[in-house]
Structure 1
Amino acid sequence: MVPSKANEDLAVAEETSIRHRSLIAACLAHAVHDGFTDSLYAFLPVWQTQFGLSYAALAIVRALYYATMGGLQIPADRALKRFSPRTTLMLSTAMASTGLLIAVMPLGFFGLCVGLVIAGIGSSVQHPQGSMLVTDTYGEAARRPLGVYNFSGDLGKALLPALVAVMLPILAWRPVLALLVILGALVTFALVWLAPATPIKLSNKRQGSRVKASSGFDILTVIGGLDTATRMGYLLFLPFLVRGHGGGSTEVGVALGLLFVGGALGKVTCGWLAERFGVVVSVIATEALTAAMITATLFTPITATLAMLPVLGVVLNGTSSILYGSVPELSSGDTGRAFAIFYTSVIGSGGLAPIVYGLIADHTSQTVATIASAATAGLIIPLMLVLRPHLQKVAKAST
């Protein structure tokens, strides 16, 4: 009995260790890749000066990375689905780092563009593969770990662009970008130890339950796109809203910081909220609060607006963790492909939504466009009621 109990305890400890290392691997890759993505904003003014680019050309330069990353999610997942999580995450990070290395080389504007395309191809692999690794490792208990994985991307977006912005006045842009390349190389080697070497197979029971509920996945994907559109639209107008309330550059920075702090907290806590109160109730509550608070910030004085922003950040950004956690439940059994489709919708919405809201503002007013972003959050509520039967079907199939 004693040896058997000891072996059982050892097996549990080993399984727990694998889970923790897999989560760390996925989060580390997510943080670095999302950090790479948002760090490009800090380089744009430098590239504009060095290469004599117009604002339209700058937008195209950014799109070389962003559009490649978003548009290749599904093909990249399909091409690499037979490989282990270790191989795919290492390849993804190594390719993104290689692309940035090419951009560092003195190859002129053409070399910069080629490097950004290659880096975007590398980052297109990370989202579906990292999400699948967390989902398959934690099984039915994956909702909260996916929230942590989601939060790690925001952490990378907060830290790396800030570090780049601090270093650019001190160093030339090529050495700063080279430091990102070195970071990517270090993470690639760390994944050798952290990420599992063999693919993780799902049980037949979980696959079967997901096949039965797959019709709800399309609705979830639309909801994910609308949720991202709401967030990007409000972020577009928040600096102008603060200035309209009499704030200056300092207040704008404080406002964005408060919103992002709340958003990071929301990424971690909203997954727990869904576990306790259910997906439908939680999403309806967070989207209703989002719509109400976005509208309220249009009419409140600057002090009240700043006080509301951390709470608004929680619901504005945290809903995505609930939605990500529902992707495995509503997919058709192919977790990686499901996440690839979902991320394509989210990233595509993030790119198009500011353009749409900007056009609304140009032809009406900033206030109308901000209310339109709040109304987008409101559209999610009836869609969640349509999604409810599909989620209930999943719950019954898994019991």
Structure 2
Amino acid sequence: MRHATDSTTPPDDAPDPEARRTLAATGINHALHDGYTDLLYVLLPVWQAEFALGYAALALLRSLYNGALAALQMPSSHLAERLGVRPVLLLGTLLSAGGYALAGASGGLIGLCVALTLGGAGSSTQHPLASAVIARAYGASARGPLGTYNFTGDLGKASVPPLVGFLLTLTDWRSALWLIAGLGVLAACAVGWLLPRDRASQRASSELATPAASCGRTGRGDEAGFRLLVAIGMLDNAARPAFLIFLPFLLQEKGAGLTTVGLALSLVFIGGALGKAVCGRLGERLGVTRTVVLTEAGTAVAILAVIALPLAPALVVLPMLGVMLNGTSSVLYGTVPELAPGGRVERAFAVFYTCTLGGSALATPLLYGPLGDAVGPNWAATAAAATAFAVVPLIVALSPRLATHVPLRAA
């Protein structure tokens, strides 16, 4: 039995088995949903050929998924307050799997659009809810588990897209999506088995409304600093898809086939998974500001290198690009609890994800897609590099506010 003080004072000892099961379940769920989201990059060239689409239309297809994912973050949090975190996460995973199953069964472009919207709606459930339930389970030592959770998403990105790229060499894309939908059902079963029945979810709203309940903090956060952090996250999150949506076409211009494109995306995502781990620790040593300046400037340089180099050297650059492209988000993600206004971490995560993913979902079809149609994928990818570099002055402006906050430490 836990003592009454457990709800306000995080334990200093090792996490209990329920906390580990929570991390395992949310990690599996994160891997599945992030894999589903980035699977779209492999499918875009296939859909372009089948439906004769331009870059703006392809960007819109991606944004249907990501737009639904972003727009429903807050409603998913409110739904979890009524039903509990566990059933909402489970139903969301099944809905995403159903979306890909419907995409595989669709006979045309309209059915595909509906299916992608449903898939994004299912994926909207997991980011803020899983982040909050981990923060609640681990208390003051939540930064490390949150980093692990963030890392598992990149494992999904590194495995699902190349798996589908391989399946596309054996069968048509509709059959491949049916198989991937089955993988989602298996992941939902794993989540239902592993995730503890959340007694705490009945109290989630009230517990997470206090700083101490979620991350062991007693301060009131920094609303202005949080807003600046969200702006940084929006630019960072816009640069990543703005480049990745054109990467398959850049590589095809260099002579790559679909299998090579799948491998290339896997290299980016493997580097991204490493970046989540490396940059998190680098942030502890160098500080948030120096780390973000390093990763964003490095991202811009690496994107320009991929544009300029032939196929083989470009493939060599991709893992390092992935490290920097994804590494920033790990540093920003771990900073959310420190700046959460009023210490309301669940709400802060929901707002952060809604704004960063929503901004990306809007910018891709409204800005980068039409730019690709107007000037080609090379110059559109160059614009993505410029977006990444635009983060640098903003993180410098945020730096004094970060200096006033004591970083969370893992136990």
Displacement of 1:172 in angstroms is 6.0
What amino acid maps onto 1:336 in structure 2? E
Structure-2 residue corresponding to 1:373: 384
Structure-2 residue corresponding to 1:134: 134
Q: Which string of whole-angstrom CA distances, capped at 9 and with x for unpartnered residues, describes residues 109-161 of structure 1?
A: 77665544333322111111122222222333333332322222222233223
- 1:248 paired with 2:255, answer yes
What amino acid maps onto 1:226 in structure 2? L
Alignment of 1:260-271 (within 5 A): 260-271=269-280
- 1:24 paired with 2:24, answer yes
Give the distance between the partners of 1:300 and 1:54, measured in 2 at CA: 28
- The SS at the match of 1:15 is coil
Structure-1 residue corresponding to 2:332: 323
- 1:343 paired with 2:350, answer no
Give the distance between the partners of 1:87 and 1:271, measured in 2 at CA: 31
Give the distance between the partners of 2:240 and 2:35, measured in 1 at CA: 18
Contact 1:213/1:391 (8 A) holds in 2? no
Structure-1 residue corresponding to 2:301: 292
Displacement of 1:304 in angstroms is 5.4
Give the distance between the partners of 2:161 and 2:372, measured in 1 at CA: 28
Displacement of 1:185 in angstroms is 2.8
Q: Which string of whole-angstrom CA distances, capped at 9 and with x for unpartnered residues, describes residues 297-341 of structure 1?
A: 555676655544332321122111111111122122332322222
Residue from 227, 234, 242 that aligns with 2:236 = 227
Scaled by the length of structure 2, the TM-score of the pair is 0.77
Change (3 A) 1:393 1:78: farther
Contact 1:32/1:156 (8 A) holds in 2? yes
What amino acid maps onto 1:55 in structure 2? L
- 1:163 paired with 2:174, answer no
Residue from 260, 271, 281 that aligns with 1:272 = 281
Scaled by the length of structure 1, the TM-score of the pair is 0.79
Change (3 A) 1:106 1:372: closer
Q: Which string of whole-angstrom CA distances, capped at 9 and with x for unpartnered residues, describes residues 273-301 of structure 1?
A: 11222212211222232233434555567
Contact 1:213/1:394 (8 A) holds in 2? no
Give the distance between the partners of 1:227 and 1:241, measured in 2 at CA: 21
Gaps of 5+ in 2: 1-10
Number of residue equivalences: 384
> Structure 1 residues 166-175 or 192-201, which shifts more?
166-175
Give the distance between the partners of 1:220 and 1:48, measured in 2 at CA: 36
Give the distance between the partners of 2:382 and 2:106, measured in 1 at CA: 46
Structure-1 residue corresponding to 2:401: 390
Give the distance between the partners of 1:122 and 1:260, measured in 2 at CA: 22
Structure-2 residue corresponding to 1:5: none
Give the distance between the partners of 1:151 and 1:182, measured in 2 at CA: 23
Displacement of 1:86 in angstroms is 1.9
Structure-1 residue corresponding to 2:5: none
Question: What value does the CA root-mean-square deviation take over the aligned residues?
Answer: 3.8
Gaps of 5+ in 1: 1-10
Give the distance between the partners of 2:382 and 2:108, measured in 1 at CA: 44
Contact 2:239/2:388 (8 A) holds in 1? yes
Give the distance between the partners of 2:256 and 2:316, measured in 1 at CA: 17
Structure-1 residue corresponding to 2:66: 66
